[in-house]
Amino acid sequence: MKAYHWDELLEEEDLMDLTEEAMAFSAARRIPWMRLGTAAACLALILCLANYQALAAGVKRIVDYFSGVGAMEARQNMLIQSKEVEFSLSGRTYLISGAYARDGILFVPLEVVSKSEERLNESTYQNLYVKVTAQQNGNTLSGQNPFTDLSNNGSYPYGQYTALERKRIPFSPLSEHPYLGLRYLEQGYQSYAQAVFTFELKDADSGCCTLSVEDYLTDAAQEVELRLAPPETIEVVSSEREVGEVLVTALVSKDGRSLSLYGAMSHEAEWWKSLVDLRAEAVYGVQFIGADGACYQGVPRRSGDMAGYPQEILLTQDTGPITAVRIQKIYYAYDDMDEGLVSQWVELDWVIPLT
């Protein structure tokens, strides 16, 4: 039989991708036999003692328990990042902004800007290889995949959600990013990369985590403190609205110049669905309203095209005081294991007053 050497047939990056996918698949498919035994015992008890309705409820509980959903029956309060973190690493500038915790999962959006074009050639950009680990109260948090086996389904970008802490993120021209371009182009930066890391919280009520960010090609690392707090303790106005099966949470800064949109399933019982991809129409979907009634368009910081990744829209032009924010139109999408990708644009005309 002919022997093949994979490290000779594949490029280094392809070999790394295959290794990461194999590790993620193995972790996702590991069978918790102790849980399975407990589930079987519960099912036997229900079959002996319960009527049809109890049986249906019992099966639902067993499926929840086996899949890990049963440990989180009540929706936990949201915690949001109170202050942006910026630092330098390997000659690049790193930003952590918009991090939040919800339902026992910590989302850490990471943005990186570089003064290099980060090109391999005229048509191809280099990749950023980054590792992020998190600690809470001295305990290392495990990387969490909120999608389980749905990570490559629907419209969601491949590789954004894995159980691994390392990611390979492609750079892009900074001029293509509406907000980061405005902020950094004049300072000589030329390219950017962004991704989101997710972790399973040990203490859902604790608002302090320590993050270690490592460029794992150079082994350079930086440790930073991430502080989260309930929205009501920070200078934001919070408002929520149910749109179909989706709960839309809008947080507006007190000065009215920043809007963040978060999406989640509105009913915890909808256990088979994944996270929500939520975004507002970038140009006309959101209006910042001045005291004189004038309407201003914002600039999206995050497009919201990754599920669980909040969209942030900022008003960057000079204006008078802002008294309200109007959300005209939003898009939502989620994966349903029975129906596939569910998506829809919805007209809202949702006005959030600030006074």
* Interval 138-159: pLDDT, tens: 889 987 655 443 333 333 343 3
**Which residue from 179, 182, 177, 193 is spatially nearest to 116, judged by alpha carbons?**
193
pLDDT at 158: 38
Q: Where are the domains of the chain?
A: 33-67, 79-231, 235-353
Architecture of domain 79-231: Sandwich (2.60)
Per-residue pLDDT of 166-194, as tens digits, reads 788 899 999 999 999 999 999 999 999 98
CATH of domain 235-353: 2.60.40
* CA 340-270-48 angle, 5° bins: 115
Q: Say yes or no to pLDDT of 126 above 50.
A: yes
Structure pTM? Answer: 0.71
DSSP bridge pairs for 242: 247
Q: Hey, do 79-231 and 235-353 end up sharing a CATH topology, with the first three levels equal?
A: yes
Half-sphere exposure of 19 (CA within 13 A, CB side): 12
Q: Would you call 75 exposed, middle or buried from its count of C-beta atoms within 10 A (0-12, 13-18, 19+)?
A: middle
